[in-house]
Structure 1
Amino acid sequence: MQQHPGAPEPPPGCPAHGRVPLYTAEFGADPESYYAHLRRFGASAPVELAPGVEAELVTSYPAALQILQNPGTFVRDSRRWRALREGRVPADSPALPMMAYRPNALFSDGAEHARLRQAVTDSLATVDPHRLSRHVERVADYLIDRFADRPGGRADLVADYAQQLPLLVYSELFGCPADVGDRVIFGISGIFEGIDAERANEVLGTALHELVALKRKAPGDDVTSRLMEHPAGLSDDELVNQLVTLLSGGTAPLMSLISTGAALMLGDEKYSGTQYSTGLLVEDAVNEVLWRFAPIANYAVHYPVQDAELDGRVLETDQPVVISFAAANTDPVLSDNSSSLRGKAHLAFGAGPHVCPAKDPAILIGVAAIERLLNRMTDVDLAVAFEDLMWQPTPWSRTLTALPVRFTPVSPPRRPSAAIGQGAGPASAGRQHPQQARTNRWSTFLSWLKGM
């Protein structure tokens, strides 16, 4: 094992030898210390993603690029995963929903990947950015209206805003009718929140199969219909699995991007200056999130087709190799003025043939959501210092558990009485039982929108 001189001691809770667990509260609280420790192994290090789930984590920026851009040696098809094939992965492992094979572009290689990815990229290219921006603003206004006049002027911008906004925006993008959209949101929310995840996954799958059946009969002006009409000729099973990745893989990182970006805007002094417009400041904050707090922290699981050496360590055939986008983006080599890598792009959206196809709409949604929040809530402040915010203990993402803020309550703009009469206005929604509110977010928003 290669050792680097002057390496830091293992952080608290991190074993000095063997595989380093990335699913603990200690890792969630201070991943940077863990990455600093893991770098002592070289370009990659042995980790445990969940109990009994072993992998090699790549922490080096140059090594991450080497793997991401070498699909001939490092493939994405997780049916190769040796430990899973040999029955050495617990059947109820929380890593399986993230790593198990699905017939979609994320887990495909070669010609099959090219076919599926082309359908995704072509369909996303039909999204009008101006229309998308307007819809983000409408969703933002709806969510802000629900807490803007809350007595005491307190809100959690994760639960009240950042978590819900991507779900509502994506329901529109993918053409979900009210009842299907409610079940899609229920499924994705349940998976994110760990609330009856098995049932949530079942509800999500059933709802997406129903959405595909509906669009087969009556296509619309939405991404689902574009996928369906694409010359690639996706089967219903392929369509559902593309949608699972696009919806769940798009909404969770966006929640992180919006909440962490808002936290920086409200809690970091360098964003309080007046020399730039709010828009430029928000774009700067979003870019900093992508560099320093990569929403997808550790993912892009690869499988070597043969044993490969990386900086003195052997990456074994068909054993998971995970890219740490977070560690690669903060690789000390990038801060070296003499390094040829200085100024290179961050890896928050990946690189190579599997680079995220939705990066442009994701940034647009993130920036628009933060701008609308700050324009509407002009005196909002963090209720705790930025450095005291808590993060979720997961290896996959860098996500705040909560973003408590305080503000002076303001009355939302008056809405037509029809919306309130339907029981869909912010006030009536706020009186709903929490479980009911969680299961009908999309239909409630649509009723609000119709009453505008």
Structure 2
Amino acid sequence: MSTVPSPPPPGRSGQMPPAGLFGAAFAEDPHGLYARLRAEWGPIAPVRVAPGVRAWLVLGYQEVLAVTRDVELFSSDARHWHATTTGWLPRDSPLLPMLGWRPALTRQDGPAHLRLRQAVFDALRRIDQQRLRRVTARDADALIDGWLRDGKADLIGRFARPLSALTFTRLLGMPDRDGERLHSLAGTVVDSAPGALAADQEIRASLLRLVAARRAAPAEDIPSWLLNGRTGLSEAELVHQLAALVLNGLESTTNLIGNTLAYVLARPHLLADLAAGRSTVSDILDLALWAEPPLHNAGARWATSDVTFAGQWIQTGDMLVLALAGANADPAVHHGADPRTPTASRAHLAWGAGPHACPARDPALLVAESAIERLLQRVPALTLAVDATTLAWRPSPWTRALTTLPVHFPPAPRPEPDPDVTPPPARGTQDAPRKPRATNWAWWNLDV
């Protein structure tokens, strides 16, 4: 692989691309930026992913498919990135936890990737889907009980975020109390925010301790399944597969729940369709995954040789960012229909495509669907407390995440629990909100 003295800037006449995938302006209207770039450049456009850090943003639906499927020309291995091979990118860049090389399935190609992906698939397949659905519904009930009488709530801070944290700590075999810290660290990393390197190191250190504990005392959880898998992962590989699941799964599950709720609450006719049985929560999830996928931009792929692609000259080592939300809005995909009102199909790119498509799609969808169904059953009269256009989003190049989702609803006492989902409260505790019970490491040890 050849290197260059400094990273060649994507764009005309070597000028710095003006568009940046960061900051408050981008967070407020990423879709507007994608549309402007498409109008000016077509299916691939020069951007910055941080001040001074250049990349190509792949906006075309077919072009995203082409990049994800051609791992020989567009590698997931960050060691091809000229910004790191030349030393141009500082070693303390907050981009590195998301974009730098690591021995994880997200940053490998070929046989190495297949081996790691198989190990993760084998572990995820051992999750008891029905039990996960029941545990999610029970935890959703416990969280709802905490604010049902208030008549208002923040569905990010008091529902989507703690629910996802509980789910992941249990699947990882970690104590419930560690969930919020893990979520906070993951958010810092996926936002490429100051402190991302330290957050990534803390995540890996906690996972290293977890792996050591599971070597000594295996349990029924993902770390133990990876340890005892047939692929024989090294300690570093074990930690980095778990880190990849945390970074890609924890935030995405929270944002899948939050973004879907924001989408449906801003469109009362969708709530009416749900109530009338004309659609399902699964349908609504797909609509939201077209419009606001939890991962707007997937980083990244690197060109392994010079090539003309989608009308642009791509040089060896150039980074290509996959605009999943931008590609979902590609007019060519919608055949003249308004891309802002997609149909409930599963042809969206929210989960990626090709060999590196998200391996945890099914568990994430199951958790989100169970959580949203339970919420809408328990609190059917939810309304946004602010105009949908004023909702605040985190300024991340990669994830699409609400800071809050304030809602109103008629205050109500906690209804009698569904015996198929949660056990009845003990005598004398009918008025006390249920709390998620602490786990004894394995999540399915819960009495559900």
Per the normalisation by structure 2, the TM-score is 0.84
Instruction: Tell me, yes or no, if the aligned pair for 2:22 and 2:397 is still in contact at 8 Å.
Output: yes
User: Per-residue deviation at 1:17?
Assistant: 7.4
Cα distance in 2 for residues equivalent to 1:186 and 1:418: 37
Cα distance in 2 for residues equivalent to 1:249 and 1:442: 26
Cα distance in 2 for residues equivalent to 1:100 and 1:22: 18
Q: Give the equivalent residue in structure 1 for 2:405.
A: 403
| CA deviations over 1:165-203 (Å, ceiling 9, x no partner) | 111111111222456657545543565686965554343
Cα distance in 1 for residues equivalent to 2:57 and 2:156: 29
Structure 1 counterpart of 2:382, from 368, 380, 383: 380
Give the secondary structure class of the aligned counterpart of 1:163: helix
Give the secondary structure class of the aligned counterpart of 1:114: helix
Cα distance in 2 for residues equivalent to 1:184 and 1:401: 17
| CA deviations over 1:24-43 (Å, ceiling 9, x no partner) | 21111111111111112122
Instruction: Tell me, yes or no, if the aligned pair for 2:286 and 2:346 is still in contact at 8 Å.
Output: no
| Larger mean Cα displacement after TM superposition, 105-114 or 121-130 | 121-130
Give the secondary structure class of the aligned counterpart of 2:402: coil
Task: Output aligned runs, 1:87-126, within 5 Å.
Answer: 87-126=87-126
Cα distance in 1 for residues equivalent to 2:353 and 2:283: 21
Instruction: Tell me, yes or no, if the aligned pair for 1:104 and 1:238 is still in contact at 8 Å.
Output: yes
Return closer, same or farther for 1:362/1:305 CA change in 2, 3 Å cut-off.
same
Give the secondary structure class of the aligned counterpart of 2:301: strand
Return closer, same or farther for 1:34/1:444 CA change in 2, 3 Å cut-off.
same
Give identity over the alignment, percent.
37
Q: Give the equivalent residue in structure 1 for 2:421.
A: none
Structure 2 counterpart of 1:162, from 150, 160, 163: 160
Give the secondary structure class of the aligned counterpart of 1:155: strand
Instruction: Tell me, yes or no, if the aligned pair for 1:301 and 1:323 is still in contact at 8 Å.
Output: yes
| Larger mean Cα displacement after TM superposition, 271-280 or 99-108 | 271-280
Q: Give the equivalent residue in structure 2 for 1:4.
A: none
Q: Give the equivalent residue in structure 2 for 1:6.
A: none
Give the secondary structure class of the aligned counterpart of 1:216: helix
Aligned letter for 1:384?
Answer: V
Q: Give the equivalent residue in structure 2 for 1:8.
A: none
Q: Give the equivalent residue in structure 1 for 2:254.
A: 255
Q: Any gaps of 5 or more consecutive residues in structure 1?
A: 1-15, 430-440
Instruction: Tell me, yes or no, if the aligned pair for 1:77 and 1:109 is still in contact at 8 Å.
Output: yes
Query: Number of aligned pairs?
Result: 414
Task: Output aligned runs, 1:114-263, within 5 Å.
Answer: 114-150=114-150, 153-178=151-176, 184-185=182-183, 187-188=185-186, 191=189, 197=196, 199-263=198-262
Return closer, same or farther for 1:189/1:304 CA change in 2, 3 Å cut-off.
closer
Return closer, same or farther for 1:417/1:176 CA change in 2, 3 Å cut-off.
farther
Instruction: Tell me, yes or no, if the aligned pair for 1:180 and 1:211 is still in contact at 8 Å.
Output: no
Cα distance in 2 for residues equivalent to 1:230 and 1:337: 48
Return closer, same or farther for 1:276/1:369 CA change in 2, 3 Å cut-off.
same
Aligned letter for 2:58?
Answer: V
Aligned letter for 2:37?
Answer: L
Instruction: Tell me, yes or no, if the aligned pair for 2:165 and 2:179 is still in contact at 8 Å.
Output: no
Aligned letter for 2:412?
Answer: V
Instruction: Tell me, yes or no, if the aligned pair for 1:50 and 1:94 is still in contact at 8 Å.
Output: no
Q: Give the equivalent residue in structure 1 for 2:24.
A: 25
Instruction: Tell me, yes or no, if the aligned pair for 2:175 and 2:440 is still in contact at 8 Å.
Output: no
Backbone CA RMSD of aligned residues: 3.1
Aligned letter for 2:392?
Answer: M
User: Per-residue deviation at 1:382?
Assistant: 0.9
Return closer, same or farther for 1:406/1:278 CA change in 2, 3 Å cut-off.
farther
| CA deviations over 1:250-306 (Å, ceiling 9, x no partner) | 011111110111122222032132576669432222101111112111114111110
Give the secondary structure class of the aligned counterpart of 2:146: helix
- Give yes or no for the alignment of 1:56 onto 2:49: no
Instruction: Tell me, yes or no, if the aligned pair for 2:296 and 2:400 is still in contact at 8 Å.
Output: yes
Task: Output aligned runs, 1:358-373, within 5 Å.
Answer: 358-373=360-375
User: Per-residue deviation at 1:407?
Assistant: 1.9
User: Per-residue deviation at 1:246?
Assistant: 0.4
Instruction: Tell me, yes or no, if the aligned pair for 2:162 and 2:180 is still in contact at 8 Å.
Output: no
Aligned letter for 1:297?
Answer: H
Cα distance in 2 for residues equivalent to 1:378 and 1:445: 34
Return closer, same or farther for 1:168/1:134 CA change in 2, 3 Å cut-off.
same
Instruction: Tell me, yes or no, if the aligned pair for 2:183 and 2:250 is still in contact at 8 Å.
Output: no
Cα distance in 2 for residues equivalent to 1:31 and 1:45: 14
Give the secondary structure class of the aligned counterpart of 1:20: coil
Cα distance in 2 for residues equivalent to 1:379 and 1:135: 24
Cα distance in 1 for residues equivalent to 2:370 and 2:72: 38
Cα distance in 1 for residues equivalent to 2:203 and 2:84: 24
Instruction: Tell me, yes or no, if the aligned pair for 1:186 and 1:204 is still in contact at 8 Å.
Output: no
Per the normalisation by structure 1, the TM-score is 0.83
Give the secondary structure class of the aligned counterpart of 1:261: helix
Q: Any gaps of 5 or more consecutive residues in structure 2?
A: 1-14, 338-342, 416-423
Give the secondary structure class of the aligned counterpart of 2:280: helix
Cα distance in 2 for residues equivalent to 1:267 and 1:307: 45
Return closer, same or farther for 1:111/1:198 CA change in 2, 3 Å cut-off.
closer
Cα distance in 2 for residues equivalent to 1:344 and 1:286: 10
Task: Output aligned runs, 1:8-47, within 5 Å.
Answer: 18-39=17-38, 40-47=40-47
Return closer, same or farther for 1:34/1:357 CA change in 2, 3 Å cut-off.
same
